[in-house]
């Protein structure tokens, strides 16, 4: 049996290509500032993960050969069956009735955590606990945790990020299924997630699986498309089909749900690390967006200042044609500044050579001038040359880059 869900490798390739492109654009666009943000994110991530690992080691019960040897033996056996050479550090954690398990990684070391309620609920079917163990080993074996930082930019994209997250869950369910000795144990494990610690015994897997046929409607399609997990009824349908030696065909999703989901970025991941990831990603994007937006505003005001300069040069040019010389002042040329946006602090003309100087009102460039220098060509026509002087060319239009 192939332990990797059919779409995961394709989605991983797309995620990797998109993420590398975004990282490259961020590094180039921020002139390397994205690397600093990446370092800050890594430091924040280390603090968050160290808090989690410290909490586990200080609160949860470590599963060892001496402490809960039955669970330790199951973890070792699952690792061997799934081809994981080094068993992760494992803990049992009481979570107030929550049924789950998770894997995490800190400084190259892997951890898996089993919630005590799900272990207690499956005491009479301990092979079903292998499903949870195998599922988390799947995350480790497929390097989902190792690749998460590199894939972070694409992970927040609509449709793509959630699709890859759901594909990973299907892959890990296959690992959990393969870790069980009894082919029906994976169904028991999912039944406990669905019905709880007691009622799972009475759950009809067939009827529960039939609920998957309702998942093709608009709203169920939409909420699955923006979520990190497939509907549990669909996961049950998959492991039930695997137990029968088949591959299930899931109901199609509503087409319009894709359009709406395309407008929703992936924000459904949880935990402190994810919050820090959002903060770091927003910070990196801000490092690009804020300077770009500021440049946009400056460019717009510079364009307004240059338009004012064009009106002044036109007045000087008319005066030259009429009098054969430049004006002593702009007022003498009949020019009155029209600057409703207050883009210009001052404007003047040099009576000696006719040069018009425009002083932008932007605080960053106070005292610096855009110079319009006239010359007379072979046809006795006045030609103007614009230059920004000490003002950066990136905020000036191409005509003033000389």
- Residue 269 has a pLDDT of 47
- Residue 394 has a pLDDT of 85
Determine if the pTM surpasses 0.85: no
- Residue 190 has a pLDDT of 95
For 328, which DSSP code? S
- Residue 272 has a pLDDT of 39
- Residue 286 has a pLDDT of 60
Burial label, 347 (beta-carbon count in 10 A; 0-12, 13-18, 19+): buried
d(Cα 83, Cα 64) in Å, to the nearest integer?
20
CB-side exposure of 157: number of CA atoms within 13 Å? 17
- Give the start-end residues of each E strand in 280-363: 344-349, 356-360
CATH 3.30.700.10 maps onto the chain at 308-400
Q: Give me the long-range contacts of 376-383 (CB less than 8 A, separation at least 24).
A: 382/317, 382/320, 382/321
Fold of 308-400: Glycoprotein, Type 4 Pilin (3.30.700)
- Residue 45 has a pLDDT of 76
Phi, psi (rounded to 5 degrees) for 359:
-105, 110
d(Cα 44, Cα 391) in Å, to the nearest integer?
38
**Contact indicator for 126, 114 with CB cutoff of 8 Å:** no
Rounded average pLDDT per 10-residue block, the chain, 402 residues: 90 95 84 74 82 92 96 96 94 89 91 94 94 96 91 91 95 96 94 93 94 92 94 96 90 93 74 47 58 79 92 92 89 90 91 92 89 89 90 88 72
Burial label, 247 (beta-carbon count in 10 A; 0-12, 13-18, 19+): exposed
d(Cα 26, Cα 19) in Å, to the nearest integer?
10
Helix residue spans in 200-271 (DSSP H)? 205-210, 218-225, 232-243, 255-261
d(Cα 306, Cα 357) in Å, to the nearest integer?
10
């Amino acid at each position: 049996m192939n332990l990797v869900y059919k779409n995961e490798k394709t989605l991983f390739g797309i995620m990797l290509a998109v993420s590398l492109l975004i990282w490259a654009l961020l590094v180039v666009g921020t002139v390397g500032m994205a690397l600093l943000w990446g370092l800050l994110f890594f430091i924040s991530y280390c603090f968050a993960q160290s808090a989690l690992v410290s909490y586990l080691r200080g609160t949860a019960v470590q599963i060892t050969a001496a402490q809960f040897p039955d669970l330790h033996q199951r973890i070792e056996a699952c690792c061997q069956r799934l081809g994981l050479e080094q068993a992760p550090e494992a803990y049992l954690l009481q979570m107030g009735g929550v049924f789950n398990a998770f894997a995490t990684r800190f400084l190259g070391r892997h951890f898996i955590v089993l919630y005590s309620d799900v272990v207690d609920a499956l005491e009479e079917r301990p092979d079903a606990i292998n499903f949870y163990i195998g599922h988390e080993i799947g995350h480790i074996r497929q390097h989902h945790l190792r690749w998460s930082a590199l894939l972070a930019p694409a992970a927040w994209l609509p449709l793509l990020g959630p699709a890859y997250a759901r594909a990973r869950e299907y892959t890990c369910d296959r690992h959990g299924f393969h870790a069980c000795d009894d082919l029906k144990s994976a169904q028991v494990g999912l039944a406990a997630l669905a019905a709880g610690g007691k009622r799972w015994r009475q759950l009809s897997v067939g009827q529960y699986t039939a609920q998957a046929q309702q998942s093709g409607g608009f709203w169920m399609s939409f909420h699955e498309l923006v979520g990190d997990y497939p509907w549990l009824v669909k996961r049950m349908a998959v492991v039930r089909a695997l137990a029968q030696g088949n591959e299930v065909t899931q109901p199609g999703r509503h087409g319009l749900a894709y359009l709406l989901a395309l407008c929703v970025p992936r924000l459904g991941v949880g935990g402190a690390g994810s919050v820090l990831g959002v903060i770091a990603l927003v910070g990196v994007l801000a490092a690009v967006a804020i300077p770009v937006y500021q440049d946009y505003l400056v460019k717009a005001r510079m364009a307004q200042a240059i338009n004012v300069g064009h009106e002044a040069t036109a007045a000087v040019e008319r005066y030259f044609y009429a009098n054969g010389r430049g004006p002593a002042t702009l007022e003498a040329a009949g020019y009155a500044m029209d600057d409703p946006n207050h883009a210009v602090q001052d404007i003047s003309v040099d009576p000696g050579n006719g040069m018009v100087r425009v002083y932008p009102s932007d605080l960053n460039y106070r005292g610096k001038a855009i110079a319009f220098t006239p010359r007379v060509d072979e046809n006795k026509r006045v030609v103007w040359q614009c230059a920004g002087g000490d003002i950066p060319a990136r905020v000036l239009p191409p005509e003033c880059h000389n």
